[in-house]
Every structure is written in C-alpha cells, then in structure tokens.
Amino acid sequence: MNFSLLAEQIAQQDAVEWLGLAFGIAYVVLATYEKPACWIFGILSSACIAWKGVTDYKLIADAFLQLFYIGIGIYGLILWYRGNEAQGKKPITLSPWQSHLRAIFICLVISAPLSWLIVHYADARYGYIDTLLTTLSVWATFLLIRKDLHNWVYWIGIDIVYVILYWKSDGLLFAVLFFLYTLISIWGLRQWNQSLKEDNYVRNIEPS
C-alpha cells in the first residue's frame, strides 16, 4: 500500500467528510445489532455526503442519490421503530430466491442506459459497473429496511468490488473504508443469522 498517498488523502478530509465517514460506520455497525437508531446515523451520513457533493465535488447526481437515501432512511426508521408488537422488534425475514433473480435482472437492465449516460456526459471511469453497484445498493437498502438476511450478502459483494475500484483509482482512504464495511457486513450476516435461528426457536416453542 502507498502509505504516503493514504496519509495525504486522510489529511485532505475536512470535518464534514469525517462526520460522514463516522456516521456511515455507525450506521452499518448499529444495523448489525438491529438497532433502529442506525437509520438516524445513515440519514446524517447521507446528508454530509450530499452537502460535499454539491458544494465541493459538484457531483449533483450523487447528491440526489444521497437525498434518496435520506428518504429511504426516514422510511426505515419509522418501519423499524414500529417493529413487531409481539416481539418488540421487527423480525428478520428471508426472501425467496426468485425475487432476488428478478431484482438482479432488473438492476442489470437499468444499469445499461444509465451507464451510457454517465460515460458520455459525466466522463465516468467505471460506467457500467458503477451504475450496477448503485442499483444493487438501492435494492440492498430495501432488503435492509425489510430486515431481510440476504441484504448482508449483497453488501459484502458490493463492498468488495468498491474496495477494488477505489484501490485501482488511488482512492486509498475509501478503499480502506469499504474494506471495513466488508468486515462489518460479514459480522452483520453472522449476527442476523444467529438472531433468525433464535427467533425461529422461540416461535417453535411458543404454545399455539
């Protein structure tokens, strides 16, 4: 690793960017423990990223994506706090494999025209893979809102690819960040899988 480049990139981060990174990590960590407060940190992280996208980086499309995430975060916050009256929290679920095939197919199709647009009008370096990761991230966020265990499988794959893309683009700080996200997502998959087994066990022993 080019540690001097990493140190330089770290030094270039301002307070808003550090807050965005810290809130983002808190969001993922709290999500692994099924804490509704995770959405508050997700909203704050997206707000910081959107602000920097508009004021410094002129990434208007990404800023709109972050605004979308803020809206989704509000919805997730309401849904998780509403929870499940019987258990005191919204239970973890599993979607059928057919729904994942449909979703992935739709993401593949939508990504084609979007990638053409950003390549031709925004000079994107990784057009198709970038848009595919974005559409899959949106789908994974919906799965997280529904507390579908498989959301962590998507995030593990998405984060690994982002590590590679940022590393190849010399965005070492973000490569390290997404490596941390990958580790947290693996932990989240383990935690939710354990919670799902415990929930199923409780439901099986409850008297009918």
- What's the predicted TM-score (pTM) here? 0.85
List of long-range contacts for 111-116, beta carbons under 8 Å, 24+ apart? 111/135
Q: From first to last of its 208 residues, what are the pLDDT tens digits of the chain?
A: 677 877 787 788 888 888 988 999 999 999 999 999 999 999 999 999 888 877 775 555 667 788 889 999 999 999 898 865 445 677 899 999 999 999 999 999 998 888 887 777 666 667 788 888 889 999 999 999 999 999 999 999 999 998 888 888 777 888 888 899 999 999 999 999 999 988 774 454 544 4
Identity of residue 183 = L
Helix or strand or coil: residue 113? helix
